[in-house]
């Protein structure tokens, strides 16, 4: 069912799991997204890849109405979210990120830890 949804939502749950969010993005669904409160390399950006909502969810109805009214924007947002997900949040992309850090450290290259969220 989620693959056919126009709008999906991912909120912080037990363990701050982000898997549900990645599933929504991968289906090219416009996502209502709540910042998981943990460092994630290449984060999803509000109104570029998704639409953030507040911790108390009070703004969710308003944002759903807005996304339903703005079909073209919603479709563009969903496509951008999927592109970003495929570029940075697949198993392959995340493995490449870890290997890049390891190669630089093992190769003796000085790295800026903040560049990697360390």
User: DSSP state, 94?
Assistant: H
Please check whether residue 117 lies inside any domain of the structure.
no
Please check whether residue 99 lies inside any domain of the structure.
no
C-alpha dihedral sign at 74, 10, 35, 84: negative
CA distance 77 to 69: 13
| Number of compact structural domains in the chain | 1
Please check whether residue 102 lies inside any domain of the structure.
no
Domain range holding 67? 2-90
pLDDT at 14: 59
CA distance 88 to 52: 19
Please check whether residue 97 lies inside any domain of the structure.
no
Please check whether residue 95 lies inside any domain of the structure.
no
Please check whether residue 115 lies inside any domain of the structure.
no
CATH for 64: 3.40.50.2000
Please check whether residue 116 lies inside any domain of the structure.
no
Q: What is the pLDDT along the chain (118 residues), one digit of tens a residue?
A: 567 889 998 888 755 666 778 888 999 999 999 888 888 889 999 999 999 999 889 999 999 999 999 999 999 999 999 999 999 999 889 888 888 888 888 887 777 777 776 6
Please check whether residue 55 lies inside any domain of the structure.
yes
């Amino acid at each position: 069912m989620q693959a056919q949804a126009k709008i999906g939502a991912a909120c912080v749950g037990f363990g701050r799991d982000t898997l549900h969010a990645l599933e929504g993005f991968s289906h090219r669904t416009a996502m209502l997204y709540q910042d998981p409160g943990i460092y994630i390399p290449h984060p999803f950006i509000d109104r570029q890849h998704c639409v953030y909502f507040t911790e108390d969810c009070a703004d969710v109805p308003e944002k759903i109405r807005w996304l339903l009214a703005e079909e073209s924007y919603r479709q563009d947002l969903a496509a951008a979210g999927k592109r970003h997900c495929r570029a940075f949040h697949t198993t392959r992309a995340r493995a490449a990120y870890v290997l890049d850090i390891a190669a630089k450290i093992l190769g003796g290259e000085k790295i800026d830890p903040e560049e990697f969220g360390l």
